[in-house]
Structures are given as C-alpha cells and as structure tokens.
C-alpha cells in the first residue's frame, strides 16, 4: 500500500517529507542566472549536485541528527508576471510527526537562500502557507 490509506484517502503517517519554497526575482533574470545563483547555497549546504540544466538543478545533501539523506530540486518556472524559482526539499522522514529533521534543514535552506540570493523575494513557503502554492 502506498502513502494513502485505501479506505478513507487520508495520508498515512509514513508519507515522505516534502517542503517547498518559491522565490521571485525583483528584477527579470534568465533561468540560467537563477540556477547559477544557487552555487553559493549548494556550497554552504555541502550539497552534491547530481543534475544541472539552465532551468533545473537536483542535489543530495545530509542533514539533521542522523545525517538524514535529503533531495533538493530547484526549478525555474516561467510565469506571465516573471519567472519563479521553486526549491523543493524532500526526505524519507515521516510527516506524521512533522518531519522535524527535514523541517530544520528546510528552515536552514530558506535562511541561506535569503542570504545567498538577496534579489529574490519569498512568495510561498509550504510550512507556513499550505502544501501547494496558488501563484499565477
């Protein structure tokens, strides 16, 4: 059985941890510049980049007390009002207890992203705003 209970559709306590932050440049930037702007962040997080294109990046990192394995995905989304940079942090830590180690790493990610990329505004955080953005 997957992460959903077959009988009532509720997410099971062992659902994978998933935290999303969406950032918007104050000035128009090409996708490649947004992805390249993540380089200092990847260095600070000691992330191992395993895939990079002009509009996408994926990396592995370790965090938390047990050196939890985390996956970070960065995607540039073209929108009529300007591009958005989505940073998605996932782990196998169970969400049933709030995924405290993953949440701590996510908070660090958000803080370091603000420092590394000061020209971007935070427009969505899944831990604050709900599971999915409603950004046009």
- pTM here is 0.84
pLDDT digits (tens, 9 = 90+) for 49-106: 999 999 999 999 987 666 789 999 999 999 888 899 999 999 999 888 889 899 999 9
Counting Cβ atoms within 10 Å, is residue 99 exposed (0-12), middle (13-18) or buried (19+)? buried
CB 106 within 8 A of CB 19: yes
Domains of the chain, first to last: 16-122 (3.30.310.80)
Looking at residue 97, what is its pLDDT?
A: 82
pLDDT digits (tens, 9 = 90+) for 22-34: 999 999 999 999 9
The average pLDDT across 11-18 equals 69
């Amino acid at each position: 059985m997957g992460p959903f209970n077959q009988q009532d559709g509720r997410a099971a306590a062992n659902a994978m941890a998933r935290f999303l932050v969406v950032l918007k440049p104050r000035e128009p930037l090409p996708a490649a510049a947004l992805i390249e702007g993540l380089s200092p962040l990847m260095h600070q997080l000691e992330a191992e980049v395993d895939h990079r294109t002009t509009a996408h990046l994926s990396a592995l990192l370790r965090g938390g007390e047990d050196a939890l394995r985390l996956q970070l995905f960065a995607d540039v989304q073209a929108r009529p009002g300007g591009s958005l940079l989505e940073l998605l942090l996932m782990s196998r830590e169970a969400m049933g207890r709030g995924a405290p180690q993953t949440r701590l790493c996510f908070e660090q990610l958000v803080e370091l992203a603000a420092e590394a990329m000061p020209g971007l505004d935070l427009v969505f955080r899944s831990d604050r705003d709900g599971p999915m953005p409603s950004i046009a």
